[in-house]
Amino acid sequence: QKSAKPVDYNVIINEAFQLFKNEKGGKNANYIPFLDKVDPDMYGIVLVTKEGQVYQVGETRYEFGIESIEKVFTLCMAMEIFGDSAILEKVGAAQTGLPFNSVPAIEQGGQKPSNPLVNAGAMATTSLLTSHFGHAEAWDKVNAYFGRFAGRPLTVLDELYKSEATTNEHNQAIAMLLKSYGYMYDDPLYACDFYTKQCSYGVTTRDLGIMAGTLANGGVNPITKERLLKEAYVPRVLAIMGTTGLYETTGDWMYKVGLPSKSGVGGGIISVAPGRFAIAVFSPRLDKAGNSVRAQEAIKYISEKLAANVYLGK
């Protein structure tokens, strides 16, 4: 296995930063009022090695909405508790080829939530956790687990949560539909609200780099050295990221870049080079599927420079 010298990482992320500094393509998410108001020019890149070195450039301290990236860590927690077979059976691992909040995807997918990284599957996964812990304890448990991934306590951006919670009728409808098909494991509107709160975590690009770095490091947080996911489950989580992490454009992404990744409409994307490093990029302008335009460009560049495409087998 080849890995670049520490100094190379710095040079490469700085090159990526400069190259795409003037990229203005895409638009902030506007279906969640709060996200529409975020400064679209913010841009940060963090690379975390499995040994725990952190390289960063640009806006890496601003707390933005984690949004769909939370789905990865909810999946990790559920897999730890219920095992990998339960996830396949109760949620699924199928690509939908459709947007992240698609209702037809549920109908076409045998009335199943499809996978844990679309809204339906994420809410189903959350409902497994909330029913397991009970409503009185669930938030504290989930919150503690997320904080261990970041290596610091995370908090919800209250304004973002309120903004989404008062406009998320579409997700509520999905939760109810899943309930009717027997794929919701707790009160559907409770699970939907809990999921919305999880999506409203404020994270920095650095936090995301460390969270993703845990997956690059076989399930052990590279900074705190705490194991958060069984090693055998890491490839399962990465497989789901690699088939659906950028929604309906994941195929193109894997063809071009070849890194299991996850995007969020807050503008973040995480990518994992298993056994080597993780990259987190933040830039709010999104393409039509809801993936940050500039983050995709920066990650593609870094991945090429470091020969990180998983299919290269390096």
Between 15 and 54, how does the x/- string for binding to ligand GLN read (CB under 6 A)? ----------------------------------------
Interacting residues with ligand GLN between 219 and 258 (CB under 6 A):
none
Q: Which of residues 132-171 bind ligand GLN (CB under 6 A)?
A: 164, 171
Of the two residues 9 and 100, which places its CB atom closer to ligand GLN in the complex? 100
Q: Is the distance from CB of 259 to CB of 307 less than 8 angstroms? A: no
Q: Is 68 annotated as a binding residue?
A: yes
Pairwise CA distance, residues 85 & 108, whole Å? 22
Kindly state whether residue 67 participates in binding ligand GLN, applying the rule CB under 6 A: yes
Out of 265, 293, 298, 306, the only residue in the binding site for ligand GLN (CB under 6 A) is: 265
Q: Which residue from 143, 144, 82 is spatially nearest to 116, judged by alpha carbons?
A: 82
Cβ proximity to ligand GLN, 54 vs 98, nearer residue = 98
Confirm or reject binding of residue 264 to ligand GLN (CB under 6 A).
Answer: yes
Cβ contact 234:156 at 8 Å: no
- Residue, CB closest to ligand GLN: 68
| Residue number, 128 or 223, with CB nearest to ligand GLN | 128
Query: Exposure string (b/e) for 118-138, b if CB count within 10 Å is 16 or more?
Result: bbbbbbbbbbbbbbbbeeeeb
89 is in an annotated binding site: no
301 marked as part of a ligand binding site: no
Residue 169 assigned as binding residue: no
**Closest separation between CB of residue 276 and ligand GLN, Å?**
26
- Residue 101 in contact with ligand GLN, rule: CB under 6 A: yes
Q: What would the DSSP string read from start to end of the chain?
A: -----HHHHHHHHHHHHHHTTT---SB---SSHHHHTS-TT--EEEEEETT--EEEEES-S--EE-GGGHHHHHHHHHHHHH-HHHHHHHT-----SS-TT-SHHHHHTTTS---TTSHHHHHHHHHHHHHHH-HHHHHHHHHHHHHHHHTS--EE-HHHHHHHHTS-HHHHHHHHHHHHTT---S-HHHHHHHHHHHHTEEE-HHHHHHHHHHHHTTTB-TTT--B-S-GGGHHHHHHHHHHHTTGGGHHHHHHHT---EEE-TTSEEEEEETTTEEEEEE---B-TTS-BHHHHHHHHHHHHHTT--GGG--
By CB under 6 A, name the one of 75, 160, 184, 199 that touches ligand GLN.
Answer: 199
Residue 60 touching ligand GLN (CB under 6 A): no
What is the nearest approach in angstroms of ligand GLN to the Cβ of residue 215? 18
Q: How many of the chain's residues bind ligand GLN (CB under 6 A)?
A: 11
The binder of ligand GLN chosen from 49, 119, 125, 205 (CB under 6 A): 119
Q: Tell whether residue 119 is among the known ligand binding residues.
A: yes
Q: Does 282 bind ligand GLN (CB under 6 A)?
A: no
100 binds ligand GLN (CB under 6 A): yes
Summarize the annotated binding site as residue ranges. Answer: 68, 119, 164, 171, 195, 247, 265
**Interface residues toward ligand GLN, by CB under 6 A:** 67-68, 100-101, 119, 164, 171, 199, 264-265, 290
Summarize the annotated binding site for substrate as residue ranges. Answer: 68, 119, 164, 171, 195, 247, 265
